[in-house]
Structure 1
Amino acid sequence: MVVCCDLEVDVNGEETFLLDKETICSFSGRLSRLFGKSASAKRNKVIFHDFPGGAGNFELISRFCYNNGEIDINPSNISLLYSAARFMEMNDSVSGNCNLLEKTAKAVEEIEYWTWSDLLVALKHGQDLQQVAASSGVLERCLDSLVGRLVTNNEASPCASTSSPDSPRFRLSGDTKSVENSKHGFSRAAWWFEDLSVLSPNMIEMLIKSVVSKKFDHAIIGRFLVYYQKSKFHIASSDEKHKVLEIVIDMLYTLDSNSISCRSLFGILRVVLNLNISKSSRSKLESMIGSQLDEATLDNLLIPSPHGTSYLYDVNLVLKFLKAFLHGDRQLSPMRTKKVGSLMDLYIAEVAPDPCLKSSKFLALITTLPDSARDSCDELYHAIDIYLEVHAGLCEEEKMKICCALNYKKLSTEAYIRISRNAKFASESTAQALTSRQLKLKNFQQGANYNETKGKAKRDEAGEQKLDISAENEKLREHLQGMQCRVMELEQVCKKMQSQMAKFVKSKAAAGHTTPRLMPRFCS
C-alpha cells in the first residue's frame, strides 16, 4: 500500500511531520476547513506555534488518525489527548464513531475507579496543560477524587503496593505495619506528603484551596506546605524557587494563625531573605511571624541587615514584627504581651552597642510596645545606658527623648541609685526619677498610716486597752525610715550632679570636643 505524504506539519518549531492529508483531515475539523475540498496533489504545509503538548502529543494524535480512531486512553495521556483534540477540533469524523473528545469524556467519568497512583499520574501530566485541561474537567475531577480520599482517610496510608503507577486498585489500611512511609519518619497523617511534592506550584495552589474548602486539618496542611517548599528547593531553578515560595506563603496565609510553628516561619524567612519575592508575599510572611512573636527567641530576631546598609541587624524588620503583633487578629493577653516585652528587652540590649543604629530606630524599639508589657524597666535602663555610652555624640534633644521614654516608676531602688550617679543621663531625667520615687514613698507611707489608724480605732471602740504597734507595722516603719534616708541622699546627689553637669557643659563648650569613650562589648 502506497502512503501519500502530501501534508507537512511544523509543530511549535520542534519537529516537522510528513502526513497523508486526507487521513488527517478526516478526523480534524480544523484542517478539513483549512483545505476544504481541494484535491490538489501539491504538498501543503501547516505551521502550528502553540500546539498543546508539543511534537510528542501531535505524534500521539497522528497515531490515533492512522489507527482509524483507536487509541488507549489512560491517566498519563488523557489530558494531552483532550487538549490536542480540542485544538484540532476532533469532535466529529467521517466514520462517525471516532469522536476523540467524547472518548476522553467517557474516560473522565471513570476517574472514581482509578487508583491513587493513577490520579497522581494524571495530575502530573496534566499540570503543564493546566489551562486547557482544567476546562475539560479532567484536572478538577482528579483533584476532587484525590482530595476526597485525603479528607476521608487523613489518618490512613496507602498500602505499599499502591506506590506503583501499575497498581490495580487503591487500598487504605489502618494497620501501622503497612505504612510504607514510616521509614521516612512521617506520621500516619503525613503519608501523602512525598507523593504530592512532585506537583507544580500552580497545581499545589489548586490542591490546597480544595482541601481548605473541605475543612481539612490546617495543621497538617501547614506541615505539608513547609515540606513541599524544602523538597522543591533541591531541584528548582531560581525562578521556580520564587514561584514556590510565593505560593507556599500565600497558601499558609489562608490557614489558621496557629497552624504553623513560629520556628518554621523563621525557617522560610531565612530563605526569603536571599530571594527577591513579591512585596505582597513578604508582607504576609512578616504578618504571620508577628502574630506569633511571643513564641520567638532572641536568635530568631538577630537577622543581619540587608546588603548595602551600615547597621548590624535588621531593626526595621523587627519593628514590622512588633506592629503585626500589636495589630494582629490574635487576642493579646497580658501574658503574651509581657513575653514579647521580655524578648524585646533582650533584643534592645543586643543592638544597643551598634554605633550605626540611629536614635530614631532605637527610640522606636523602646516605645512601640505598651507600658503594660514590662513589670520592671531595669533591663531597659541597662540597654539605654549602653546605647548612650556608645553614642556619646548625641545632641541633648535626642538624649532627652530616649531618657524620657523610660518609665522611672518601674525602676528598682538599685536602679534609682545607679541612674542618679550616671552622668550620661540628662539631669532633668534624674530629677524626674527622684520625684517619682518620692511620690511613690509618700503614697506608700500614707497608706501604711491609714491602715495603722484604722486598726487603732477598731480596738478603741471595742474597749480594749491601747495596743503597741504590731511587729509587722514596726518592720514597715523601719523600712520607710530607711527609704526616706535614701531619698535624702539621692536629693543631695542630684544637687551635686546638677552642679557638675553645669560645669561639664561649660568645659565642653570651651574644649569643643570630648574624649572618646570605649565601646562596650556586645551582649551575649
Structure 2
Amino acid sequence: MAVCCDLEVDVNGEETFLLDKETICLFSARLSRLFGKSTSAKRNKVIFHDFPGGAGNFELISRFCYNNGKIDINPSNISSLYSAAQFMEMNDSVSGNCNLLGAIEKSIEKIGDWTWSDLLVALKHCQDLQQVATSSGVLERCLDSLVGRLVTNNEASPCASTSSPDSPRFRQSCDTKSAENSKHGFSRAAWWFEDLSVLNPNMIEMLIKSMVSKKVDNVIIGRFLVYYQKSKFYIASSDEKHKVLEIVIDMLHILDPNSISCRSLFGILRVMLNLNISKSSRSKLESMIGSQLDQATLDNLLIPSPHGTSYLYDVNLVLKFLKAFLRGDRQLSPIRTKKVGTLIDLYIAEVAPDPCLKPSKFLALITALPDSARDSCDELYHAIDIYLEVHAGLSEDEKMKICCAPNYEKLSTEACIHLSQNAKFRSKSVVQALTSRLKGTNYSENKGKAKKDEAGEQAVVYTGKLEISADNEKLREHLQGMQCRVMELEEVCKKMQTQMAKFMKSKAAAANATPRLMPRFCS
C-alpha cells in the first residue's frame, strides 16, 4: 500500500523526516492545531529548532504514531517519550483512544517496582534530559527508589560508621563480610560504587543529597565520593575535572566531619593544587583538613609552594589549616592541640632552613598555636636557631620578635645550656627580651629603663634576672655568662653613681674647708 508523504519535518537541523500528515496529526494536538482542516495536496514543511532529544527522539514519536498509538514504555525511553509527548501535546488524540502522556505517567508511578538495572538505565537517560526528567517526576522517583533500597537492605552500612575508611580495622571489618563482593573486590557496603560512578557530576550531587536526607552512612558516602573522583579523572577532560572535583568537595563538606579520613582529604588536595577550582570549594577543603589536622603527618604538610614563588613549601596553606583547626576546636582539647603542636614543630624545623622564607611567615608559624600546645619548646628553639643561622641578615627588631616567641621556661636543661652559649641570642635587644621573657614581664616595659651620667652617656639597666634552680650550679654559671656584658654595664653604672655622690659631698665641704685633692672616680 502506498504511503502518502505530504509532511516534511526538519528536526533541529539534524535530520529531515517525510511523514503522513494525517497520521501524525491524529496523535499530536500541536500539529493538528497547526494545520487545522487543511486539505491542500501541497507538501507542508515544519521546522523544529528545539525539539527535546533531537532527531532520535522524534523518530521514537513517529514510530508510536505509525504503530497506531502503541509503544513499549521502558526505563531507556521513558524520559525521552515524556519530553517529546509534552512538546507535541500528545495528551489526547483525535481518535480519543490513546493518551501517550497518561500512559507514561502510569509507568512513572510503577518505578518503585523496577529492578536496580532498570533504575540505572533510567538515570543515565535522565542525565541528557534532566530538566524534563525533573519536571516529569522520573528523576525524583528513580533516586528515591534507588537510595531507598540501599537503606532498607542495609547494604550501605555493614561496617561501624565510627571507623576510619582507610584504617586497617575498617578494611578488615568490611572484608569479613565480602561474600557478595563485586567483581572488583569492593566490600558488600561498596558494591554499588562502580554502578553509580557512570553518572555525571550534577546527577551525583542530587544523589548524595538524597542519600544524606535518607540517613545513609556518611562514611560510605565519603568513600564513594573519593572513588568517584578517582574513577572520573581517568577519562575526564580538564573542564570535566574541575566540575567533578568541585562537586566532590562540596558534597564531602555536607557530611559528618569524621566521615572521611585526613589521608583521603590530602589526596584530594594534591589533585586540587593542579586545578584552578573555585575559591569556595578550595576554602571548604582547607576547612575540612584543618578540622582533622591532628591526624595529619609531616609528609602531608610538606606541600610544594605554588608555581612562580621562590620559597620551598606552601607555608600559607599550612597557616590556613592551623586557623581552621583553632576555629573549629573551640574547646581546644589538650590532646588534639598538643598533637598539632608536635606536628607543627616538626614542620617548622623542615621549613626553617629555607633561605627564601620571610621572617613574617616564620614568625606567623611559630606564634600560631597557644602556649598550651607545647609541653616542651626544645624543638621550637632549635628551629629558631637554624632560622637565625640561615638568615643572618635579619634586623635587630626581627630577631627580637622571633626570639621572644618560645616559652623559655619550657626548655630542657640541655636546651638551656645550649641557649646560654648561643652567640645568635647575645645581642643587646635579644638578651633584654629573653631576660624579660624569663621574668614574665613585657619587653617594652623594660626597654626604656635607663639613667644618664653628667656627660650625657646612657647606660641601660636591666632589671630582669635569670631564675634557675639553685641545685644546678653549673647551669647557673652558663646562663650568667650569657648576661656578663649586661651585668658589667650595670656594675659600672652603680660605681659611677656612688663616686658621683661622694664627689658632690666633697665639693660642698670644700667651700668651708682647706682644698684637697679630688678623689678618683674609679678605683
CA contact (8 A) 2:27 2:93 kept: yes
Q: What amino acid does structure 1 have at the position aligned with 2:343? A: L
- Cα offset, 1:127, TM superposition: 1.6
Q: What amino acid does structure 2 have at the position aligned with 1:239? A: D
Cα distance in 2, alignment partners of residues 436 and 223 from structure 1: 49
Cα distance in 2, alignment partners of residues 96 and 401 from structure 1: 89
C-alpha spacing 1:77/1:329, structure 2 compared with 1 (3 Å): farther
> In structure 1, what is the equivalent of residue 401 of structure 2?
401
- Cα offset, 1:85, TM superposition: 0.7
The count of residues paired between Structure 1 and Structure 2 equals: 444
Segments of 5+ residues of structure 2 without an aligned counterpart are 158-175, 442-467, 490-523
> In structure 2, what is the equivalent of residue 115 of structure 1?
115
Which of the residues 461, 476, 483 maps onto 1:494? 483
Cα distance in 2, alignment partners of residues 414 and 180 from structure 1: 58
CA contact (8 A) 2:407 2:437 kept: no
- Cα offset, 1:295, TM superposition: 0.3
- Cα offset, 1:329, TM superposition: 5.9
Which of the residues 472, 475, 491 maps onto 1:483? 472
CA contact (8 A) 1:85 1:91 kept: yes
> In structure 2, what is the equivalent of residue 521 of structure 1?
none
- Cα offset, 1:348, TM superposition: 0.7
Cα distance in 2, alignment partners of residues 498 and 155 from structure 1: 76
> In structure 2, what is the equivalent of residue 22 of structure 1?
22
CA contact (8 A) 1:438 1:487 kept: no
- Cα offset, 1:2, TM superposition: 2.3
Deviates more, 1:105-114 or 1:328-337: 328-337
Q: CA RMSD in A?
A: 2.3
Cα distance in 2, alignment partners of residues 67 and 240 from structure 1: 41
> In structure 2, what is the equivalent of residue 428 of structure 1?
429
- Cα offset, 1:97, TM superposition: 2.1
Q: What amino acid does structure 1 have at the position aligned with 2:282? A: R
> In structure 1, what is the equivalent of residue 106 of structure 2?
106
CA contact (8 A) 2:178 2:187 kept: no
CA contact (8 A) 1:419 1:430 kept: no
C-alpha spacing 1:82/1:389, structure 2 compared with 1 (3 Å): same
SS at match of 2:406: coil
Q: What amino acid does structure 1 have at the position aligned with 2:479? A: L
> In structure 1, what is the equivalent of residue 37 of structure 2?
37
> In structure 1, what is the equivalent of residue 351 of structure 2?
351
CA contact (8 A) 1:75 1:119 kept: yes
Cα distance in 2, alignment partners of residues 249 and 319 from structure 1: 20
CA contact (8 A) 1:291 1:325 kept: yes
- Cα offset, 1:34, TM superposition: 2.6
> In structure 1, what is the equivalent of residue 125 of structure 2?
125
Deviations 1:308-362 (A, max 9, x none): 1111111111111110101116753100000000000011111111111111111
After TM superposition, the structure 1 = structure 2 runs for residues 187-266 of structure 1, keeping only pairs within 5 Å, are: 187-266=187-266
C-alpha spacing 1:9/1:329, structure 2 compared with 1 (3 Å): farther
Q: What amino acid does structure 1 have at the position aligned with 2:41? A: A
Q: What amino acid does structure 1 have at the position aligned with 2:211? A: V
CA contact (8 A) 1:27 1:94 kept: yes
SS at match of 2:259: coil
> In structure 2, what is the equivalent of residue 295 of structure 1?
295
- Cα offset, 1:435, TM superposition: 6.0
> In structure 2, what is the equivalent of residue 308 of structure 1?
308
Cα distance in 2, alignment partners of residues 421 and 49 from structure 1: 85
Deviations 1:201-258 (A, max 9, x none): 1111111111111111111111111111111111222211111111111111001000
Q: What amino acid does structure 2 have at the position aligned with 1:309? A: T
Cα distance in 2, alignment partners of residues 65 and 155 from structure 1: 44
Which protein shows a greater Rg?
Answer: 2
Q: What amino acid does structure 2 have at the position aligned with 1:266? A: F
SS at match of 1:424: helix
Cα distance in 2, alignment partners of residues 179 and 247 from structure 1: 30
Q: What amino acid does structure 1 have at the position aligned with 2:186? A: F
> In structure 1, what is the equivalent of residue 521 of structure 2?
none
Q: What amino acid does structure 1 have at the position aligned with 2:403? A: C
Q: What amino acid does structure 1 have at the position aligned with 2:64? A: F
> In structure 2, what is the equivalent of residue 76 of structure 1?
76
Cα distance in 2, alignment partners of residues 439 and 302 from structure 1: 35
Q: What amino acid does structure 2 have at the position aligned with 1:123? A: L
- Is it true that 1:2 corresponds to 2:2 in the alignment? yes
Cα distance in 1, alignment partners of residues 177 and 400 from structure 2: 67
Cα distance in 2, alignment partners of residues 498 and 204 from structure 1: 72
SS at match of 2:419: helix
C-alpha spacing 1:107/1:178, structure 2 compared with 1 (3 Å): farther
CA contact (8 A) 1:12 1:47 kept: yes
SS at match of 2:18: strand
- Cα offset, 1:366, TM superposition: 0.8
Q: How much identity, in percent, do the aligned residues show? A: 81
Segments of 5+ residues of structure 1 without an aligned counterpart are 158-174, 441-478, 501-524
Deviations 1:410-459 (A, max 9, x none): 1122222222222222433334545666789xxxxxxxxxxxxxxxxxxx
Q: What amino acid does structure 2 have at the position aligned with 1:105? A: E
Q: What amino acid does structure 2 have at the position aligned with 1:179? A: E
C-alpha spacing 1:396/1:498, structure 2 compared with 1 (3 Å): farther
TM-score under structure 1 length normalisation:
0.80
> In structure 2, what is the equivalent of residue 161 of structure 1?
none
CA contact (8 A) 1:291 1:330 kept: no
Q: What amino acid does structure 1 have at the position aligned with 2:360? A: S
CA contact (8 A) 1:338 1:372 kept: yes
TM-score under structure 2 length normalisation:
0.80
Cα distance in 2, alignment partners of residues 223 and 103 from structure 1: 40
Deviations 1:118-167 (A, max 9, x none): 1111111112111111111111111111111000113389xxxxxxxxxx
Deviations 1:272-319 (A, max 9, x none): 111111111111111000000000001101111111111111111111
SS at match of 1:94: coil
Q: What amino acid does structure 1 have at the position aligned with 2:130? A: Q
- Is it true that 1:11 corresponds to 2:6 in the alignment? no
- Cα offset, 1:399, TM superposition: 1.5
Cα distance in 1, alignment partners of residues 352 and 291 from structure 2: 25
> In structure 2, what is the equivalent of residue 97 of structure 1?
97
Deviates more, 1:290-299 or 1:88-97: 88-97
Cα distance in 1, alignment partners of residues 22 and 79 from structure 2: 26
Deviations 1:58-88 (A, max 9, x none): 1101111111111011111111101111111
SS at match of 2:424: coil
SS at match of 2:328: coil
Q: What amino acid does structure 1 have at the position aligned with 2:381? A: Y
SS at match of 1:327: helix
